Structure 1
Amino acid sequence: MKKRLILWCAVLMGALILGATPSLAFTIAGLVRQPLNLTSSDLARMESLNVRVNEVTGDKQFHGVFTYRGVPLRTLLDLASIQKEESAFPKPFDLAVVVKNKEGRTAILSWGEIFHRNGSEVLVAFAAEPEVPRHVKNCGDCHGREVYEPALNQLKRSVGFPKLIVVGDFFTDRNIEDIVSIDVVEMNKRAEKKQMKGPLFSPRFTVTDGKGKAVEVGDLNGYRRSEGMVRQVSEGLGYHGIKQVGGVPLADILEKAGVSPDADSVVLASSIDNYRILLSFGELYLNPDGRRVLVADTIAGKPIKEGKFTLFFPDDLSSDRTAKALNKIEVISLKDRSKIFVIGMGCADANLIALQAISYMGKADVFIAPEDLQKRFAKYMGDKPVLFDPFKGMFRGFRKDGSTPDKAAEESRRLQHEKAGQLVKEALKAGKNVAILEYGDPTIYAPWRGWLDGDLMDRVEIVPGLSAFNAANAMIRQNLMCQGGSLVLTSPKALREDPDLLRAVQTRGDTVAIFMGLHEAESLSRLLLAHYPPSTPLQIVYKAGYSNSSHRVQSTVGELVQTAAKDNELHLAMIYVGPCLK
């Protein structure tokens, strides 16, 4: 009895601490106007609700009974404001919402199961309380310890927040913990909307399994038929009565076509005019209502005149996902190869970062980032691991310094590049997305190109960032192309290797913007004086983009060395030369 009392107290203690478990930050990104970065603390300040969930996964494993407190995912997506890219099909019915946790597990939902159901059906939870059986002290009267203790231990487990809760699923495989990203994605962006004359009609539809196999269905003979009542309530046209429809569950049609449930795939159903409806495998196979999604060929016992086959969702609160003249059913995998995101983080202050950069940080599993970027953007990185700091230790040689190393330094750098590339390859092999956080514009004098092998470049996506060049231009506030019509970006090393370039630029009156020039001001001065009169206007912009320390100095080519010597900064500066700087 004493042991049972101790166990009971331990379970109650677990109830008190579950809601206080430290949580990760997660992002909402993809096809949204306003990417969001939130934590459980942020969710706790929003209007929330409680739901009880009996957690049993598809492998028949019990994971406890909890009352979760959370915010409807629909509310969060409304805050982020879903916005499709330019598309021939502007409606959101073909959108998927991909939720990912820190271990790389994903849960996929369709737009329809979030927005055409009550908001309480899908939550992002920030706290939980276990539902402890009232007669737990008597468990030993019915079962052995080996039976009841594992079940009770599930009530004491630490729950990882934020956690996705899909209330309607019988098996709770989509209730993933420690979520780090919610991404809104679109299928078949290039599909064109067909303008059809007269009533829509398609005599058959094709089912493709995503692996090259296709099955054509011209009638529903040979299937076990099902009947259902459908409420016709459109968001645009309102209530239009109830229909008795007959047909075959979509799940049965997929099964007969050889399609197996796949948590990483979706089903896209299209009408003859490319009206598209997306379904998740979860809503078809984990939610009991999925058996009621019908491909119908009769209404009120009579063949359907418009279309022959119509896809109905009897349990949706709106009938707008009805697809008439069904023409195609496709299985589409959303399991992409892991990628490398090279993200431009802006040149200075954190407020110069682009929204797209925040979105892509949410998609990353691991980071490569300098220490100061890790500190400034810790909120968006969360607790995701950092592979290395490219400006520290063995990667010190990666700085944008433009210097010419000796043979020993070259060999050291080669080994550094090799090791860096190997770390990236190992992360990709483990299925992780790697984000390289770069200062400014990641395509200009970017060190990451030195240690990514050519065979990895097809994995790279570059996210643009605001360069020091852009911020410096804003500080100069002049037309930098007032004479020759060109603006040349370069470095001292490039100018030394191509003196004809500098000669041509000077002749045309173009402006030259020089990166990484201050630490070799004397040699740069000699190079410029070989082509420019000493009185040629020159400006140095220091720490462009740093609101508390940026400044601009007006000078001339002849005074470059003396002007540079007055400031201790040797790296964070842009040098501009040309007659437009008067």
Structure 2
Amino acid sequence: MKQVKQIIVMAFIAVAVAAGFFPSQAGAWGRGHFYVIGIGPSGPQMATLQALDTIKQMDTIIAPEQHVKLFSEYIGDKPVLFDPWKGFWDYNGKSYSELTKEEYAKFKVERFRLRDERAEQIKKHLEKGKNVGLLDSGNPCLFGPSHWYVEEFDKQDIVIIPGMGCDAAAMAALGKSIIPAYKARFVMQSAPMFLMDHKLEDRQILKDLSKYPVNMIQYMALGNPEKTFSALGEMYKPDTPCAVVFWAGYPGRERILRGTVGDMAQKLSNEKEKFMGLLFVGDFLEGKPYEASMKLQNNEK
């Protein structure tokens, strides 16, 4: 009987750990937790059951208005503290990309001030034993702005609920194996301003990458297609296939634009959408990449 009780207790602990200190437990610690909830790219239909259940169990929600509306069924009448992104990408009504040098300097100061002020609000709720849930699009740990807040807290206060990224939705739309794929050694995910620099002029890393068979996923790559593809042209042949999946995971809005490294800049210059698109580059976009990879592996034995 004693062994049975021990097994039950151990099983309970295992479930609790696997759940990442689920909301129902938080009160037992005398302090709330700050949950970052990955909600997928487009709404409840792309969110996990764990994410939806976690939203239901929160005491307070942090989310922009669009997410409050999308997830209203799960948020219910919970109070919404603030829009976590308001003031992070604009200043005095202007996009941060349009600011003068002087305005941008003030914007940087204001953005950190807002972050600090809001982090203090969250901490006060945690001290009262309240669980606070921030809704973050896609995968919170891949280009997830929630880390503006996460890094202001002790690790023990944070629980991150994983979410499906737009890359997964986009790859499903493309219907291809990105790896294994032909001779590709790896898949690289980045954005032009991280891969090079904000002016897209430091191209040494592209020259280094050109030594290896690599398939590429690029976020935030639509703003300056001429410079982006001029740079990629130094790594890939002009006939290398590429594709942009717009609004990945959004029913009724998702679409694919196909081209090559040589002609995609021109195609994108005619597109109105300059942000909600994910760029894929590599031979995997054509033929039977998985089968080709398997045949190559068999030949190596």
TM-score normalised by L of structure 2: 0.77
State the distance in 2 between where 1:473 and 1:354 align: 18
* Structure 2 spans left out of the alignment, 5+ residues: 16-23, 287-301
State the distance in 1 between where 2:7 and 2:46 align: 31
- Bigger radius of gyration among the two: 1
- Match for residue 375 of structure 1 among 55, 69, 86: 69
TM-score normalised by L of structure 1: 0.42
- Match for residue 339 of structure 1 among 8, 23, 33: 33
Q: Secondary structure at the match of 2:228?
A: helix
Provide closer, same or farther for how the CA distance between residues 90 and 480 of structure 1 changes in structure 2, counting only shifts above 3 A: farther
Shift of 1:336: 4.5
- Match for residue 237 of structure 2 among 533, 538, 557: 533
Note the alpha carbon deviations across 1:485-516, whole angstroms, 9 max, x for none.
31111011111147444334333221110011
Alpha-carbon contact 2:150-2:158 (below 8 Å) kept: no
- Counterpart mapping for 1:486-505 below 5 A: 486-497=186-197, 499-505=203-209
Q: Secondary structure at the match of 1:420?
A: helix
Provide closer, same or farther for how the CA distance between residues 562 and 338 of structure 1 changes in structure 2, counting only shifts above 3 A: same
Q: Secondary structure at the match of 1:507?
A: coil
Q: Would you say 1:552 and 2:246 are equivalent positions?
A: no
Q: Would you say 1:415 and 2:113 are equivalent positions?
A: yes
Provide closer, same or farther for how the CA distance between residues 429 and 512 of structure 1 changes in structure 2, counting only shifts above 3 A: same
Q: Would you say 1:437 and 2:135 are equivalent positions?
A: yes
Q: Would you say 1:572 and 2:276 are equivalent positions?
A: yes
Provide closer, same or farther for how the CA distance between residues 357 and 446 of structure 1 changes in structure 2, counting only shifts above 3 A: same
Provide closer, same or farther for how the CA distance between residues 402 and 457 of structure 1 changes in structure 2, counting only shifts above 3 A: farther
Q: Secondary structure at the match of 1:530?
A: coil
- Give the corresponding residue for 1:143: none
Alpha-carbon contact 1:532-1:557 (below 8 Å) kept: yes
Shift of 1:344: 0.6
State the distance in 2 between where 1:187 and 1:422 align: 33
Residue identity in the other structure for 2:116: E
State the distance in 2 between where 1:404 and 1:502 align: 28
State the distance in 2 between where 1:361 and 1:89 align: 34
Shift of 1:535: 2.1
Residue identity in the other structure for 2:231: L
| CA root-mean-square deviation | 3.0
- Match for residue 365 of structure 1 among 59, 65, 71: 59
Greater relative contact order structure (CA < 8 Å, 6+ sep): 2
Residue identity in the other structure for 2:37: I
Provide closer, same or farther for how the CA distance between residues 345 and 535 of structure 1 changes in structure 2, counting only shifts above 3 A: same
- Counterpart mapping for 1:111-122 below 5 A: none
* Farther-moved stretch of structure 1 (374-383 vs 412-421): 412-421
Note the alpha carbon deviations across 1:128-149, whole angstroms, 9 max, x for none.
xxxxxxxxxxxxxxxxxxxxxx
Q: Would you say 1:461 and 2:286 are equivalent positions?
A: no
Alpha-carbon contact 2:218-2:279 (below 8 Å) kept: yes
Q: Secondary structure at the match of 2:154?
A: helix
* Number of residue equivalences: 262
State the distance in 1 between where 2:214 and 2:30 align: 46
State the distance in 2 between where 1:455 and 1:428 align: 11
Identity of aligned residues (%): 26
Greater helix percent: which structure? 2
Provide closer, same or farther for how the CA distance between residues 522 and 416 of structure 1 changes in structure 2, counting only shifts above 3 A: farther
State the distance in 1 between where 2:135 and 2:274 align: 23
Shift of 1:452: 3.7
Residue identity in the other structure for 1:426: K
Alpha-carbon contact 1:348-1:546 (below 8 Å) kept: yes
